[in-house]
Amino acid sequence: MIEAEVKALVRDPERVMAALETRAKGRAEVYEDTYYDTADGVLGRDDRELRVRTVHGPDATRSVLTYKGSRVDKVTGSKPEHETVVENPEAVHALLRGLGYAPSIAFSKRCRNYEFRAAGRPMLATLARVPELDGTFLELETMVKDDSDLSAALDDVRAVLRELGVNDDDLTNELYTDAVAARR
């Protein structure tokens, strides 16, 4: 699967949140992300990611292990993504360290998530704030089976962003990991 995602810096978060609330009920969550890499940084050099995410929601806490391959769309940064639910995140952290991976960076994101359908696709919109970074970001994504549908999916995502009042000038493909590392 490929995560067809576009990210933007939001200039008017309240307006965008109000527009999203007309599409779906928002869900407040806090993500605790730990990214792993080899000692020589081969995953980062190859533009790949290995992450353990623990999501703290209002009613439950859940964890997922995610692997993202190299970007298949340089403009948006969209990547192949493989994710699975983790029952015991501490065991997964220990397993990754035991396999020779080491935490490369960890940070939290305060998110408000909206799930809805647009252009016949399931969409996930996330308004995100990373305490170490300035501003509010909007991530809008849909999943596609392969890159034959990626361009059309990204067009659909961009159309929804325009409906939400997000301009092309606001788009970014900078990774949170890079931005947080630069701040530290």
CATH code: domain of residue 150: 2.40.320.10
Of 139, 109, 108, nearest to 124 by C-alpha is 139
DSSP labels for 152-177? HHHHHHHHHHHHTT--GGGEE---HH
Write out the residue range of the structural domain in which residue 107 sits.
2-183
What's the total number of domains in the chain? 1
Enumerate the H helices of 4-80 as residue ranges.
Answer: 13-21, 42-45
What's the pLDDT score for residue 33? 98
Q: Cα angle at 138 between 135 and 139, to 5 degrees?
A: 135
Of 37, 35, 92, 43, nearest to 63 by C-alpha is 92
Burial label for 163, CB within 10 Å (0-12, 13-18, 19+), is exposed
Which band of pLDDT confidence, cut at 50, 70 and 90, is reported for residue 39?
Answer: very high
What's the pLDDT score for residue 62? 98
Mean pLDDT, residues 4-18 taken together: 96
**Cβ contact 72:147 at 8 Å:** yes
* Residues 89, 57: Cα–Cα separation, whole Å: 16
Burial label for 20, CB within 10 Å (0-12, 13-18, 19+), is buried
pLDDT in tens, 171-183: 999 999 999 999 9
Residue % of the chain over a pLDDT of 90: 99
pLDDT in tens, 109-118: 999 999 999 9
Show the tokens assigned to 26: 């928002």
* Residues 124, 157: Cα–Cα separation, whole Å: 10
**Cβ contact 52:89 at 8 Å:** yes
Which band of pLDDT confidence, cut at 50, 70 and 90, is reported for residue 30?
Answer: very high
